[in-house]
A = this chain, B = another copy of it.
Amino acid sequence: MTDFPFQLEAQDRATAARAGRFTTRHGEVLTPAFMPVGTAGSVKTLTPDELVAAGADILLANTYHLYLRPGVDTVRRMGGLHRFMGWSRSILTDSGGFQVMSLSELRTVSDRGVEFRSHLDGSRHLLAPEDAIRIQDGLGTDIAMSLDELVRMPAEAGAVREAVDRTVRWAGRGFAERERLRGEGSGGMALFGIVQGGTDATERARCFEGLSRHGFDGWALGGLWVGEGRSLGLEMVEHDTAMLPASRPRYLMGVGHPVDLIEAVARGVDMFDCVLPTRNARRGTVFVSTGRLVVKNAAYANDERPLDPECDCYTCRRFSRAYLRHLFAAGELLGMRLASLHAVHQMVSLARRARAAVVEGRYAEFRAAFLEKFRSRATLAPAAGA
User: In the complex the two chains form, is A334's CB within 8 Å of B47's CB?
Assistant: yes
- Chain B residue numbers with a CB within 8 Å of A44 are 332-334
| B322 A84 Cβ-Cβ under 8 A | yes
Q: Given the complex of chains A and B, what is the CA–CA distance between A178 and B197 in angstroms?
A: 74
Q: What's the Cα separation between A65 and B326 when bound, in Å? A: 11
Whether A86 and B323, one on each chain, are in contact in the complex, defined by CB atoms closer than 8 angstroms, is yes
A45-B334, A47-B334, A333-B336 given; A302·B74 CB < 8 A:
yes
Residues B74 and A318 in contact, CB atoms below 8 Å apart: no
A335 and B46 CA atoms in complex are apart in Å by 10
Q: Which residues of B contact A329 (CB under 8 A)?
A: 69-70
A384 at the interface (CB under 8 A from B): no
Interface membership of A42, Cβ < 8 A: yes
Residues of B within 8 A of A337 (CB): 45, 47, 333, 337
Closest to A71 in B: B301
Q: Is the CB of B70 within 8 A of A301?
A: yes
Please tell me if A40 contacts chain B, counting CB pairs below 8 Å.
yes
Residues of B within 8 A of A323 (CB): 41, 78, 84-86
Q: How far is the CB of A38 from chain B (nearest CB, A)?
A: 10
- Residue of B74, B301, B314, B335 near A322 (CB, 8 A) is B74
A213 close to chain B: CB less than 8 A: no
A74 touches B41 (CB 8 A): no
Q: How many residues of A contact B (CB 8 A)?
A: 40
Q: Count chain B CB atoms within 10 A of each CB in A325, A329, A334 and give the residue with the most.
A: A334
- Assess the B78–A332 pair: CB atoms within 8 A: no
Q: Which residue of B lies closest to A303 (CB)?
A: B78
- Residue contact A42 to B332, C-beta cutoff 8 Å: yes
Kindly supply a per-residue 1/0 record for chain A positions 226-259, scoring 1 wherever the CB is within 8 Å of any chain B CB and 0 otherwise.
0000000000000000000000000000000000
With A44-B334, A332-B44, A334-B44: A326-B86 Cβ-Cβ less than 8 Å:
no
Q: In the assembled complex, how far is the CB of residue A221 from the closest CB belonging to chain B, in whole angstroms?
A: 29
- Check: A200 CB closer than 8 A to any chain B CB: no
Q: Are B334 and A42 in contact (CB under 8 A)?
A: yes
Enumerate 24 A-B pairs (CB-CB under 8 Å) in ascending A order: A40-B330, A40-B332, A41-B326, A42-B332, A42-B334, A44-B332, A44-B334, A45-B334, A47-B337, A47-B338, A49-B314, A70-B301, A70-B326, A74-B302, A74-B322, A74-B326, A78-B304, A79-B304, A84-B322, A85-B323, A86-B318, A86-B323, A333-B333, A337-B337
